[in-house]
A = this chain, B = another copy of it.
Amino acid sequence: MIKILAKRAQIASRELANLSTETKNKVLADMSAALLANQELIIKANAKDIAQAKKAKLKPALIERLTLDEKRVREMADGLLELTKLTDPVGEIIKEWERPNGLRIQKVRVPIGVIAIIYESRPNVTSDCAGLCFKSGNSVILRGGSEAFASNHAIYQCLRQALKDNGVSEGAICMIISKEHAAVDELLKLNGYIDLVIPRGGEALIQRVVEISRIPVIKHYKGICHVYVDEWADLNMAENICFNAKVQRPGVCNAMECMLVNEHAAARFLPGMLKKFKQSGVEIRGDEFTRKIADWAKKATQKDYRTEYLDLILSVKVVKDVQEAIRHINIYSSHHSDSIITQNQKNAEEFLRQVDSACVYVNASPRFTDGRQFGMGAEIGISTDKIHARGPMALEELTSYKYVVRGNGQIRQ
């Protein structure tokens, strides 16, 4: 069954690769309109999921993420419409050159083919991911969480109708209806039909996908992000950035989980900063130095340095110099986003060069790691992998390339 679905997606992907930008934008606009037109149906389906979730005693936070209302449906519809304004990456000539024998070589951007997205809870992922894959010319196979089953299916029906209305193969957007784990396991072994898997969700989900998959996986692991306040930092700026990085939205992957402070700045910086955190309800888990300044702080353990709190909790450590900060980050960071605050050019450049993370910042909040904030217009996630795509992934990152070679009879000597 899953194989038939994947075959359909593959056949559709060949058609999709050659659709004009105009047609793709028309379909996206129709998808957007279909979501709005079927708003009631979607919210009704969502109510079923919510009732089920309450019966299963899911956590309130999870239920909140699952919930769709008029505003959220409108946001999904707006998201699809926004995609029509973004540049179509397909067909872009990335590079071209001529060889001494007269062969003209072009490196041309093409879709990847068939992408499987395996995700949890938020139903808006259904339309966001389907839209991004469609605009970049890829077929998509969607497999949402069982807790959002009815909502995802209702959204999917709207997208499918828009494909149908425009004469585009419905294989372009597929959804796995089975709630069985076995369906995903089967999917993950279809490496002849599916070109890429993107899991979106918790660490357990991602690890399970990596364990089973025979298809390349781009992982969007957790964010254990650091801000290092250097000896030469503008301490006012440091306070603003650290506060923003922790407090503005603590539940996201680009929030700060660990603050490193240079020992020569600590006495000047920490008292005011920690007080400000305390006033905002941030629990501090500090090393010895930190706890001397704030005796109310808990003791940080090795485990703390490896934890993505996603909450108003922060580990704090005082370090000797920028090199110790870099070493700590390269060991404990999840290689997502890390920041240095300093007015010292040399320290800044050392940090930027040596910290091995997808996004490295000087004098700015790591909270900017985001496709929209980077100017990509949208994002399918933040890759913590180094293969194919790293950091925010948007349309360009959903493409591959091929070499187009034009000759006039050249043969190999």
Residues in A lying within 8 Å of B, measured CB to CB: 14, 17-18, 97, 99, 103, 105, 110, 112-113, 191, 195-196, 210-211, 214, 216-218, 234, 237, 240-241, 243-245, 248-249, 330, 348, 352-354, 356-365, 367-369, 373-375, 385-388, 390-391, 400-412
Task: Assess whether B358 is in contact with A402, with CB atoms less than 8 Å apart.
Answer: yes
CB-CB under 8 A from A348, the residues of chain B are: 406
Given A237-B409, A364-B103, A112:B244 Cβ within 8 A: no
Can you name 27 A-B pairs with beta carbons within 8 Å?
A: A14-B354, A18-B353, A97-B375, A99-B375, A112-B386, A113-B386, A195-B386, A211-B214, A216-B387, A237-B408, A241-B411, A244-B412, A245-B411, A352-B404, A361-B407, A362-B406, A363-B406, A363-B407, A363-B408, A363-B410, A364-B408, A365-B411, A365-B412, A367-B411, A368-B405, A387-B387, A388-B388
Which DSSP category, helix, strand, loop or mixed, fits chain A's interface? mixed
The complex places the Cα of A404 from the Cα of B351 at a distance, in Å, of 10
Task: Assess whether A360 is in contact with B391, with CB atoms less than 8 Å apart.
Answer: no
Residue in B241, B248, B390, B403 whose CB lies within 8 Å of A400: B390
Given A354-B14, A374-B105, A387:B240 Cβ within 8 A: no
Given A237-B409, A240-B409, A387-B195, A358:B210 Cβ within 8 A: no
Interface centre among A234, A400, A409 (most CB of B within 10 A): A409
- Considering the complex, give the chain B residue whose CB is closest to the CB of A350: B18
Task: Assess whether A17 is in contact with B113, with CB atoms less than 8 Å apart.
Answer: no
Task: Assess whether A113 is in contact with B356, with CB atoms less than 8 Å apart.
Answer: yes
Interface centre among A217, A245, A357, A388 (most CB of B within 10 A): A388
CB-CB under 8 A from A360, the residues of chain B are: 402-405
Task: Assess whether B410 is in contact with A368, with CB atoms less than 8 Å apart.
Answer: yes
CB-CB under 8 A from A411, the residues of chain B are: 240-241, 243-245, 248, 364-365, 367
Interface centre among A210, A330, A404 (most CB of B within 10 A): A404
